[in-house]
Amino acid sequence: MRTVLNILNFVLGGFATTLGWLLATLFSIILIFTLPLTRSCWEITKLSLLPYGNESIHIDELYPENQNSLLNGAGTLLNIFWFILFGWWLCLSHIFIGIVQCFTIIGIPVGIANLKIAAIALWPVGRRIVSVEVARAAREANARRRFNQA
């Protein structure tokens, strides 16, 4: 089912958002001062291409033992910089494509996935794209750890 939905996403406009992410990735490589944004661009490009079966998770949820407040502060600054350069137009493209996909009855699930990616497009730094199973396991492990600490 995931494969069918990923193909449907690509056919109904997902290729346009993926091209937008690839363009942002190339610009972040070309402009030297945006190199720290390249990994986030590439991660979300993968999610834009294959939204079903993959999920975005923050690095602090994935590896809670490696949390660093200095890196979190730098990530916030990079996210602000990201929003000014790329985030707003990528978010708008996902919203537009998602609404158009929802107009086609068959594209409603794909449109909802694009609207979810639109939120990620605003603040992508610090996000990793992993399989749904890995994300679920990480969240369950964090919940158990928090429960045991309480």
Sequence ranges of the domains in the chain: 2-149
pLDDT above 90 (res 19): yes
Indicate the pLDDT class of residue 150, thresholds 50, 70 and 90: low
| pLDDT value, residue 69 | 59
Indicate the pLDDT class of residue 128, thresholds 50, 70 and 90: confident
Determine contact, residues 78/90, Cβ cutoff 8 Å. no
CA dist., res. 71 & res. 77, Å (int): 10
| pLDDT value, residue 148 | 80
Query: Which residues have a Cβ under 8 Å from the Cβ of 36 and sit 6 or more positions away?
Result: 78, 125
| pLDDT value, residue 66 | 67
> Average pLDDT, stretch 107-134?
87
| pLDDT value, residue 68 | 62
Q: Considering only 28-32, 44-48, 58-62, 140-144, which range has the smallest mean pLDDT?
A: 58-62
Indicate the pLDDT class of residue 95, thresholds 50, 70 and 90: very high
Name the H helices within 10-122. Answer: 15-30, 38-49, 59-62, 69-82, 88-103, 108-122
| pLDDT value, residue 46 | 87
> Average pLDDT, stretch 25-54?
85
| pLDDT value, residue 56 | 85
| pLDDT value, residue 72 | 65
> What rounded mean pLDDT belongs to the chain?
84
